[in-house]
Structure 1
Amino acid sequence: MSLGDDNGYRSDSGRTDDAYSTIGGTRQTRTRLPDGEGGDGYGPPRRPARKPRSMIMMVGVIVLLIAAIAFANMGGGGGDDNNDGRGRADGTPNTSSTAATGTKPVNGKNGTIASGFAHDGQGAQSAAANYAVALGSAEMFDKTKRDSILGAVIAPQVVGKFRATLDDAYSANLFKNLGLNEDGSTPAGFTFISRTTPVGTKVTKESPDRATVEVWCTGLIGLAGEGSTKPVTDGWFTITMELEWVGGDWKAVTHSQKDGPAPVGGDTRASSAEEIAGAVNGFGGFTYAR
């Protein structure tokens, strides 16, 4: 996750801001009397209590999963295989923004980072998503690993500048603020977590050998372990990369980040430090390709 991160409003359908108003304009006052076992002469029994919000959310998630599977099975039918993911002229997204495209995923690797992206808008998006993962990883806190990552994803003509800038950014003061040792290593008994997960990508500018791509991400950062004063937190942010076609692959020449867009937080119970550490160590990351 990069070093840099809502009030939800729920309307009550059928009511206005006027506490005395009623839909239909009758402005009548009602008095509800206590309900009996099976109701009484004053009206039917009260409605059952609403189901908990978490149950409603669970049903919603299941519905979304079913819909996603259905769309995935229909992918490629009637879609524009040449679409670059920027959407229609009216601003609405094309199906290729969320459905799988016909472009074959990359097979190459530059160390642990995917390489050999297609020389088009889709390839640029795939490269930017992969590079966002690498640049937001815990390996960036180790000087040797950081230099290796930068050599794999940054264009040769600017990699030296990136290294110098990040050497200054990854300072002893930063490590201290994150609960790490002065050299960036993780204290004994703890697990340091820094992980970026792309949610979506789009091309905002494109030419034959140059592309600007925005990557919407969520991420985790913090120190998991008993007694940690820097617990793992999540965040939402958008990374913008300008990519250049260099030596038969896309390489980043600029990189910037801003907060959001961030959704309203759910009511999922926060996991323990042990559960978070186990999840990060047990679930590996992905190679992204459109």
Structure 2
Amino acid sequence: MSNEDQYGGGVGSGYGEVGGTGQTRTRLPDAPSDPYGTPRRAPRASRGLVTVVGVVVLLIAAIAFANQSSDSPRTPADQTPPAATSTSATGTRPVDGKNGAIPKGFAHDEQGAQSAAANYAVALVSADILKPQMRRQIVRQVFVADKVSELEARLDQAYGKTFLDQAGLDANGNAAQGLTYISRTVPVGTKAAKNSESTTTVDVWCTGVFGTAGVGSTNPVSNDWFTMTLTLRWAENDWKVESFAQKDGPAPVHTDRTASTAEEIAKAATEFGGFTYAR
């Protein structure tokens, strides 16, 4: 698992390696080389296009700032085609408990790391990452302890007043009365790029919906496809995020399906709950 994305861009629209930093489409800003960037979504053309583009640019800049890192890019993965079993479900229950809304207690193996990465991607690109109090809880639950203070400061600055104003949200990350801010991420699949007993790098291919639903919204809800790369460390008897980055795609061909109304989207976001993701 950028604010810009979340609103059209993303704190990590590239979730550049955050070393553990966040997002908003809560997506993280787009910055392929930034390890702390957030994922972002492509806005739909509309009368509010200019406003949406402005918000996306702001999100990307915020995420890039929040995810600055000196880490060097990782070596490209082996091009050998994966075995058929690498994309099938393991059938193993991911966790037995939760820390608030975030799953915890992942197995100390490759399957557990991939399940952790999928669930953390959802949390890092959620609407809650834009709410100061919720953001602190997410950072402390998801990241390794020695990264918490640094990431809290970066994300507080990235998701400050300027960003929230551009996204049409108040100081607490809430939309105006009658409007609903949406940032929902859905992992499509995971892949372990590097693995050891203490650290693991996992790629999470995601899609999602981001924007503000409601009459008069200038930031319409749109969808996006992106890949988050999370570096996990085994700490506190669980997998925790040490850093993360994001890049666009892979994205399928866009269909000509008629878009739903803002009311239908807002209703769906409140009526359909999320999942605990397993590898």
- What's the TM-score, normalizing by structure 1? 0.68
Which whole-Å CA distance do the structure 2 matches of 1:140 and 1:230 have between them? 18
Cross-structure match for 1:267: 256
Contact 1:194 / 1:219 at 8 angstroms: preserved in 2? yes
Give unpaired runs (5+ residues) of structure 1: 6-88
Residues 1:247 and 2:272 aligned together: no
Query: AA paired with 2:160?
Result: S
Deviation at 1:180, TM superposition (A): 1.6
Query: AA paired with 2:85?
Result: S
Contact 1:173 / 1:182 at 8 angstroms: preserved in 2? no
- Of 182, 198, 209, the residue aligned with 1:209 is 198
Cross-structure match for 1:98: 87
Deviation at 1:262, TM superposition (A): 1.3
Cross-structure match for 2:147: 158
Deviation at 1:94, TM superposition (A): 2.7
Of structures 1 and 2, the one with the larger relative CO (CA 8 A, separation 6+) is 2
Give unpaired runs (5+ residues) of structure 2: 1-24, 30-39, 41-77
Which whole-Å CA distance do the structure 1 matches of 2:118 and 2:180 have between them? 25
Residues 1:3 and 2:38 aligned together: no
Cross-structure match for 1:111: 100
Contact 1:239 / 1:257 at 8 angstroms: preserved in 2? yes
Partner of 1:194: helix, strand, or coil?
A: strand
170-179 or 141-150, which deviates more: 170-179
Partner of 1:269: helix, strand, or coil?
A: coil
Cα pair distance change 1:235/1:90, threshold 3 Å: closer
Structure 1: 4+ residue segments shifted above 6 A: none
Give the percent of matched residue pairs that are identical in Structure 1 and Structure 2: 53
Deviation at 1:161, TM superposition (A): 0.9
Deviation at 1:91, TM superposition (A): 2.6
- What are the residue-to-residue correspondences of 1:154-233 with 2, within 5 Å? 154-233=143-222
CA deviation map 1:99-139 (0-9, x unaligned): 22142321111111101111111111100000000111111
- Of 246, 249, 253, the residue aligned with 1:257 is 246
Deviation at 1:182, TM superposition (A): 4.4
Cα pair distance change 1:279/1:102, threshold 3 Å: closer
Cross-structure match for 1:147: 136
Cross-structure match for 1:23: none
Deviation at 1:194, TM superposition (A): 0.8
Which whole-Å CA distance do the structure 2 matches of 1:125 and 1:206 have between them? 10
Which whole-Å CA distance do the structure 1 matches of 2:137 and 2:79 have between them? 42
Cross-structure match for 2:271: 282
Query: AA paired with 1:232?
Result: V
Deviation at 1:183, TM superposition (A): 4.2
- What's the TM-score, normalizing by structure 2? 0.71
Which whole-Å CA distance do the structure 2 matches of 1:99 and 1:222 have between them? 32
Partner of 1:158: helix, strand, or coil?
A: helix
Which whole-Å CA distance do the structure 1 matches of 2:191 and 2:108 have between them? 15
Query: AA paired with 1:230?
Result: N
- Give the paired residue count: 208
